[in-house]
């Protein structure tokens, strides 16, 4: 666990709803607790964690899904990272996928950032989607961050969504710091 009671954030949430239901999930520091809100056709995950040496990582992910026999999936991801040395990096990635009869889409994205203070960010994302009348979406994301002070943060997020008329959303988030 990081100093000052900031510890590792680990959360597992199972949300079951109808096709047009949206779920908004906020993940903050443990002292700020966990809140769950609902609005229309949106799954929003906001995670914020801070390391013992002042590094702040904010990950905001928005998923918009609609389906009947074909479906449209819009995945917009923004990563904002700022360090105690004043360096800020913003990575914005948007994936738009649509289908009629049904197909499989695999998107693999890797971002590598580095700055003058030796702060390195590697973001590797793989999206696997397959559909017929209902569909299954598996999104596996791994973030590996290492600093010049040999502090490493590993954030692993897995989203599993399956639907026919309604759908089930399973969001599993694990933060490991060592």
Instruction: Give the mean pLDDT of 16-20.
Output: 29
Domain count within the chain? 1
At 64-106, the pLDDT tens digits run 444 433 334 444 444 444 444 444 444 444 444 444 334 334 3
The pLDDT score that the predictor gives to residue 67 is 40
User: What pLDDT is recorded for position 25?
Assistant: 32
pLDDT, position 35? 29
39 vs 79, more confident = 79
Q: How many residues does the chain have?
A: 178
pTM strictly above 0.85:
no
The pLDDT value recorded for residue 58 is 42
Distance CA 111, CA 132 (A): 32
- Side-by-side strand order, sheet with 104-114: 10-17, 167-177, 152-163, 135-146, 120-131, 104-114
Do residues 85 and 45 lie in contact, with contact meaning Cβ atoms separated by under 8 Å? no
Q: In terms of residue numbers, what domain contains 9?
A: 3-177
Average pLDDT over residues 145-162: 44
């Amino acid at each position: 666990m990081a100093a000052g009671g900031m510890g590792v954030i680990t959360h597992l949430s199972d949300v079951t709803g109808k096709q047009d239901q949206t779920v908004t999930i906020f993940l903050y520091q443990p002292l700020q607790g966990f809140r769950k809100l609902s609005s229309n056709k949106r799954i929003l995950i906001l995670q914020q964690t801070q390391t013992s040496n002042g590094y702040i990582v904010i990950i905001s992910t928005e998923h918009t899904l609609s389906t009947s026999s074909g479906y449209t999936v819009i995945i917009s991801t923004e990563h904002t990272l700022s360090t105690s040395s004043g360096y800020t990096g913003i990575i914005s990635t948007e994936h738009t996928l649509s289908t009629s009869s049904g197909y499989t889409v695999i998107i693999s994205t890797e971002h590598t950032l580095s700055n003058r203070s030796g702060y390195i960010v590697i973001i590797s994302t793989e999206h696997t989607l397959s559909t017929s009348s209902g569909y299954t979406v598996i999104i596996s994301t791994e973030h590996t961050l290492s600093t010049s002070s040999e502090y490493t943060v590993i954030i692993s997020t897995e989203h599993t969504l399956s639907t026919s008329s309604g759908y089930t959303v399973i969001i599993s988030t694990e933060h490991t710091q060592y």
